[in-house]
Each structure stands twice: as structure tokens, then as C-alpha cells.
Amino acid sequence: MNKLLHAATMTLFATSMAHAQQAVQWRVEDGGNGHWYAELDFASGGVLYPFAKEQCRIRGGHPVTVTSAAEHSFVCSVMTTFLNWMGAERIGDGWTWCTGEPWVYGSICSFTPGADRIQFYGCNCWNDTFDNDCCTGAVIIEWSADCNGDGTVDYGQIREGKLPDFNGNNVPDCCETGVACAIGNYPMKWRVEDGGNGHWYQLRPKTGGWYACRNSALADAGDLASPSTAQENAAIEPLIPIQQFPVRNRVFLGGYQTPGSAPSQGWHWVDGSPWGFTDWYFNQPNGGEGFLAAKRYGAGPTNCDWDDYGESDSDIGFFLVEWSADCNGDGVVDYGQILEGTLLDANGNNIPDACECRSDINGDRAVTGADLGLIFVYWGPASSFPGADLNADGAINGADISVLLANWGPCAQ
């Protein structure tokens, strides 16, 4: 195998084996800068600095830049691997950060002639090394961008559903398209690249009791969220609103209990996941209520817990929707592909039209010339035959032919 092919093969392997730890924020309230940090480990072994830097970029961040002893200490609390790439780069005779920040702090414990990169050498100090050092198996990612200039790091606002990121690259869509960013309530993706499951989540105001909330989620092609692992539970915590008494803003999740069970027994997730991990508040569950809700007492990562509540408890203000369906089996959740426009959903029900086979006008489970013929027969106002108005624009015309041709062939289901 030639060197170029070997390098490409190892890069592909390292990408597939990369695993990001749960990101944590150095909060301003704790004396920090508001940035987010995570360790990205490469299970395949060491990777070169350019590759590690690129892996940070595609996740919307950059290799960590450490500008104070306090930041050094915080980053060390994130590290689990002895050697980690940093964002330090030599230019001429001096060091600089990959972000352009001034070099005002350093903790280098070795001085190697010609060294052009720096790695964390444990938590005690930094080790200068070379761009082609292949023994470094991890990198600390830092998210610091504030593209809309509102004083808050974008990555955190995406995690909280306050800024949209429909293409899932950890950069707000509004900043990528150049439109004004509006703080709101947007769906949040737990990216596979960040150690997640690729599912999407959104907080919504309560609509009736637990069953009504679940029916609302199901009607929108989702379900109540089932955070069945510690990692998933941590990922959805930023979406849980902080308690502001007397406002009742606890959040229904997809956990429910078999009636008549002992308080901690008989619990299930609506998606069928095994019931193992729990995050119960002190002395909870106390029994007799039967439905799971989350509440959050503060902005810290450990201030969100579960309680059991009644089906129509007045303390509940919201429910959390989770989208996980992949009807076309391409390994990507349909809801995100609809949001970013790569799958068509003309009727707005969050199910890709191709999976519904909406182009199958005559109902024979295939999109063929027979369906095309019906478009021509009923050409004109959609009222003549609504089933032929494939893009739901009120008219049967050439646009519907385009939809039909895009779905030509046997139905997916």
C-alpha cells in the first residue's frame, strides 16, 4: 500500500472511531469564559495535528487555546487521556494560537529545537512536539464562537434550542446564511460526531395530560423523549427550563409505570429502551403517580433530576419530543433531513414523502406512468383531485410532476 493510500485509509478509520466526551461549559458564573470543552478520543491510536484540527472544525469548534492558569486547570478537569493536542502553532520564532488569540500564558515543560506544535502532557505541563507526531491520540475541542454577537457562545445556545442548527454542524444556520439570528425554541440534534444518537429533541408547551402530550408528539412523527442512558440524559438537560417559582415548568418525559407497582418498580420507556439508568431526585419516586417528569433547579450540569407525577399534574408545564425515525434506512434521522431540505415533506407531517409514497397516486405501491397519467388527467385546481397535488400548493401542475419523478419506482414501504 502506498503512503498516500495508507494515510487516507488511516484518516477514514480514525474518523469512524473518534469518540467525543460530553461537552462541559466553563461558566461565567464560576469565573470562566462561557466556552464549552470536550475531549475527542481517537480509538485507532495517534493522529496528526492537522487531522485533529479538522475534526474540531467539522464539529464547529477548534483545538483548545489556553490563555490563563485558571483555564488550564478547568481544561485538565475535562481530560481523561494523557496526551492531547492543543491549538498552539509556531510561526517564525514564536508561538501563537490557531484562533489568533494573543499568547499571554504558557506552561511548556520541554523545549525541542524546531518544534512546531504543543500537546498536553498530562495536566502538569505542555510538551512541545512536531506536526507529524503520530503518538497523540486525542484533542481537546473548544467552542468559543459567538457569530451573532450576543455575548453567548453559539454552541451552548444550539444545545439549549435557542438557535437553529438544522444541518447539525454546531454552527447556527442564521450565521451561515447571513440572516438575523432570532432567539427562539428550535429542535436540537444530539450529533453522532459528539457521541450522540443522531436524534432530535424539542421542548414544547404542555397540551393536556401525559397521554395528550404523547399523542401530540406522535402526531408530529415523534414521541416523548426517552433518555435511557446517562449520556442522553445529560444531552437533553439543557432543554429543561430552570425552575422559576411560582411558574410550574416541569417537563413530561417518555417514562411511565405499570399501575399498582412499587414506587421504583414497573417503569418503562415509550421507545422500548431497557429501564436501567435513572436520575431520581432525593426520595423519588414516591409512588402512586405513574408518569416521569424532569425538573431543573439551576444552570449547573447536575441540577436536573426526575420525579414521578400524576397524569394531569398542574406542576407540569412542558413535554419533550424526540424524533428518531429513519424510514428510508440511510442511517440519518428523517426529521433532520426534512429540516435541512434533503428530504421532501410537502404535507408537513414530518414524514418524508418518499416513505409515505405520496407520489403513488393510484395506490398500487409503485410510482409509474399510471400515476403520471393521473396528473395530466386532473391538471388544474387541486380541488379536482387532491391526491394528485403532490406538493400541496393548491394546483396540479408541473411541480407535481417533479415530485413524482423524484420518487419514481417501487414504494419504500
pLDDT in tens, 195-208: 899 999 999 999 99
Please tell me the predicted confidence (pLDDT) of residue 321.
98
- Which of 290, 323, 356 lies at the terminal end of a domain, its last residue? 323
Are 181 and 174 in contact by the 8 Å Cβ rule? The answer is yes
> 353 and 272, same structural domain?
no
Residues 181 and 200 in one domain: no
Q: What is the CATH number of the domain that holds 373?
A: 1.10.1330.10
Q: Is residue 372 part of a domain?
A: yes
- Could you report the per-residue pLDDT of 60-87, keeping only the tens digit for each? 999 999 999 999 999 999 999 888 999 9
197 and 177 in a common domain? no
Mean pLDDT of the chain: 88
pLDDT confidence of residue 271: 94
pLDDT in tens, 98-154: 999 999 998 888 778 889 999 998 888 899 998 887 788 899 999 999 999 999 999
20 in the same domain as 129: yes
Centre a 10 Å sphere on the Cβ of residue 398 and count the other Cβ atoms it contains.
Answer: 9
- Picking from 185, 205, 238, the residue at the C-terminal end of a domain is 185
Whether residue 328 lies inside any domain: the answer is no
Asked if residue 138 and residue 69 are part of one domain, the reply reads yes
> In the predicted model, what is the mean pLDDT of residues 209-223?
94
- Look at residue 134 and tell me if it is in a domain: yes
pLDDT confidence bin for 362, thresholds 50/70/90: confident
In a shared domain, residues 213 and 177: no
Q: Which residues pair with 308 in a beta bridge?
A: 292
Do 288 and 309 belong together in one domain? yes
Q: Is 329 contained in some domain?
A: no
Residues 134 and 10 in one domain: yes
**In sequence order, what are the beta bridge partners of 121?**
83, 125
Q: Which of the 8 DSSP states describes residue 65?
A: -
Q: Considering the domain boundaries, does residue 304 fall inside one? A: yes
Q: What count of Cα atoms within 13 Å lies in the side-chain half-sphere of residue 16?
A: 6
Phi and psi (nearest 5°) for 405? -65, -35
265 and 373 both lie in a single domain? no
Kindly report, residue by residue over 363-375, the tens digit of the pLDDT: 787 889 999 999 9
Q: How many domains does the chain have?
A: 4
Give the pLDDT score at 4. Answer: 33
Burial 272-285 (b: 16+ CB within 10 A, else e): ebeeeebbeeeebb
Q: Containing H/E element for 91? A: strand 83-91
What predicted TM-score, i.e. pTM, was given to this entire model?
0.79
In the block, cell 395530466 appears at 376
Q: Is residue 259 part of a domain?
A: yes
Q: Please tell me the distance from the alpha carbon of residue 236 to that of residue 187, in angstroms, as a whole number.
A: 11
| Shared domain check, 292 and 376 | no
Query: Does residue 128 share a domain with residue 32?
Result: yes
Specify the pLDDT at position 2: 40
Cell of 151: 455575548
Q: Is 6 exposed, middle or buried (0-12, 13-18, 19+ CB in 10 A)?
A: exposed
Summarised one tens digit per residue, pLDDT across range 4-62 is 333 333 443 444 457 777 889 999 999 999 999 999 998 767 889 999 999 999 999 99
The range of the structural domain enclosing residue 270 comes to 187-323
Classified as helix, coil or strand, 268 is strand
Q: CATH number, domain at 25?
A: 3.10.100.10
Residue where one domain finishes, among candidates 301, 323, 345: 323
Co-location of 179 and 288 in the same domain: no
In a domain, 214, yes or no: yes
Beta bridge partners of 294: 251, 306
Q: Is 68 a domain residue?
A: yes
What contacts 46, CB < 8 A, 6 or more positions away? 133, 134, 135, 136, 137
